[in-house]
Amino acid sequence: EMTLTSIEIAILLLFVVLSFAANINRLSILPFTVQGTYQTSPGGILMALSGGLVFAITYFMGFEVSTQISEEVKDTRRSVPTSTLWATVLMGVLYILVTYAIILNIGYSQSSINNFVNEAEGMGPNPVYTLIGHYLGEAGLILFAVSVMLSVFGCYLATLNATARMLYGMARDGLLPTWLAETHPRYKSPHKALYLSTAIAIITIILAYLASYISGYYKPIALTYNAMEYAYAIDSLYYVLSLLLIAVGALRVTTWRGRVAIAIGAALLAITFCYSVTGMAYLYILIASILLIVVVELTILRNKLDKIKITTCPYC
């Protein structure tokens, strides 16, 4: 996994270097300015920036996974904060470079960007892969495609691991059945929680495909593409909302400067959440799940939550 991820990053960086070299005369800061939104009204600019924030936030999805397996890491207090910080910084730099390289190749005009987006959302070849193939040839494209595919699979495995650790922690605190807190006798991993998280993932996939089929998509590619779109749209809402709740909760354990930063971040997250609701069906699902969580918390988990000792992060 580390090798394939390294290959993927190396190919992306090579693509960035070659794109910069081929378009050296077209370098511009336009994409980093308000003018780059191609909006004139404050509302339009806010909508454009919020739309970008949806991707900017969700692209970092998973950076916090390392904290959820901290009990299984050597020298936790040093390695976990360091790895989380550097992973976030390096991901951000890589995303900016690759996105800017793509814009360099397709052009800065609004029509060029819209055409690129429409092509990416279509059923034809992914335009990013077309650009990779243009600079690195067929061999580089195949290597990149394989590494991306396996990297995505590894990302999903990491998500399952994080979910399992969350279920394990809740079970250990008495919020879930105790059998979820059991660990494997040999590997010491929360194997039963892993089984449950895998089952939840499979059910989610089935529901996403079912929603896509009901929406009228029957061909395999269209069915899969729209199933992923539905799942990603709902997942993005949950993720942005969870970050917003974490930001609000962090107000209790930080200084006034931290509270100011959190307030600004929470406001941006709230705006992003509003503009990330692309369909009322997604919002209905989110509201229904929140109501279910509230009911469970007020009935089944109420007494158990009161017994949990609240601890403060030593780094906060």
Inter-residue contact 18 to 102 (CB < 8 Å): no
Lowest mean pLDDT among 60-64, 89-93, 183-187: 60-64
From CA 11, how far away is CA 294, in angstroms rounded? 46
Angle between helices 42-58 and 220-249 (to 10 degrees): 100
Per-residue confidence at 314, pLDDT binned at 50, 70, 90?
Answer: very low
Under 8 Å between Cβ of 42 and 188: no
pLDDT at 315: 44
pLDDT confidence band for 316 (50 / 70 / 90): very low
Which residue is it, tokens 């039963």?
Answer: 192
Distance CA(59)–CA(236), nearest Å, equals 10
Angstrom distance (rounded) from CA 266 to CA 242: 11
- Domain limits of the chain? 2-307
Name the amino acid, one letter, at 316.
Answer: C
Give me the numbers of helices (H) and strands (E) for the chain, helices first please. Answer: 11, 0
Mean pLDDT score, 40-60: 78
Q: How many CB atoms lie within 10 A of CB 138?
A: 8
- pLDDT tens column, 216-263: 888 887 888 888 888 877 877 787 777 777 777 777 777 888 888 888
Helix ranges (H only) for 215-301 are 220-249, 256-276, 280-299
- How does residue 172 score in pLDDT terms, banded at 50, 70 and 90? confident
- Which one, of 187, 19, 200, lies nearest residue 97 by Cα? 19
pTM of the model: 0.76
Give the separation between CA 93 and CA 151, rounded to whole angstroms.
19
**Band of the pLDDT at 313, cuts 50, 70, 90?**
very low
When the pLDDT of each residue in the chain is averaged and rounded to a whole number, the result is 82
**Average pLDDT for 287-314:** 71
Residue 242 CA to residue 146 CA, distance in Å, equals 32
Distances (CA, A) of 158 to 106, 149, 154, 194: 33, 14, 6, 11
Length of the chain: 316
pLDDT of residue 1: 61
Choose among 148, 153, 183, 156: nearest CA to 169.
183
